[in-house]
Amino acid sequence: MTRITRRALAAAPLALAASRALAAPMPAPVSPAPASPWPDATESAARIRRGEITAAEVVETAIRRAEAMQGALNFVVNSDFDRALAKAKAGPTGPFAGVPFLVKDLVDYKGLPTRGGSQSQRFEPPATKQAPNCDAFDRAGLIVLGKSATPEAGFLPSTEPLTTGLTHNPWDLSRSPGGSSGGSSVAVAAGIVPAAHATDGGGSIRIPASHCGLFGLKPSRGRIDDFEGKVGITAFGVEHVVTRSVRDSAAILALTEDHKPGANYPPVGVVAGPNKKRLRIGVMLANGEGHSPTPDVVAAHDHAVKLVTDLGHHIDYVRLPYDGDRFIQDFLLFWAGGAQRLASDITKATGRKPDGTMLEPFTLGLIDLANRTKPEDFGQTMKRLEADVLAYDTWFGAYQFDVVLSPVLSSGPPKLGEIGPLVPFDTLVARLTEYVGYTPIHNLAGAPAMSVPLYWTPEGLPIGTMFAARAGQERMLFELAYELEAANPWAHRIPPVHV
How far is Cα 328 from Cα 398, in angstroms, rounded to an integer?
23
How far is Cα 116 from Cα 133, in angstroms, rounded to an integer?
17
Contact 17, 60 (CB under 8 A): no
How far is Cα 345 from Cα 485, in angstroms, rounded to an integer?
44
Q: How many CA atoms, within 13 angstroms, populate the side-chain half-sphere of residue 498?
A: 15
- Catalytic entry in 104, 158, 185, 210: 104
Rounded (5°) CA angle 216-434-387: 75
Torsion sign, CA atoms 256, 74, 490, 32: negative
- In three-state secondary structure terms, 82 is helix
Contact 44, 95 (CB under 8 A): no
How far is Cα 467 from Cα 83, in angstroms, rounded to an integer?
38
- In three-state secondary structure terms, 144 is strand
* CA distances, 376 to each of 160, 254, 488 (Å): 34, 42, 50
- Catalytic entry in 19, 118, 184, 204: 204
- In three-state secondary structure terms, 261 is coil
How far is Cα 261 from Cα 244, in angstroms, rounded to an integer?
32
What stretches of 377-430 adopt beta strand conformation (E)?
A: 403-407
Contact 136, 256 (CB under 8 A): yes
Contact 215, 205 (CB under 8 A): no
Cis peptide before 180 (omega within 30 of 0): yes
181 is a catalytic site residue = no
How far is Cα 63 from Cα 57, in angstroms, rounded to an integer?
10
**DSSP assignments along 324-386, one per residue:** HHHHHHHHHHHHHHHHHHHHHHHHHHHSS---TTTS-HHHHHHHHHHHTS-HHHHHHHHHHHH
- Catalytic entry in 31, 118, 120, 180: 180
DSSP letter at 136 equals: H
180 is a catalytic site residue = yes
79 is a catalytic site residue = no
Q: Write the burial class of residue 251 (CB in 10 Å: 0-12 exposed, 13-18 middle, 19+ buried).
A: buried
Active site residues: 104, 180, 204
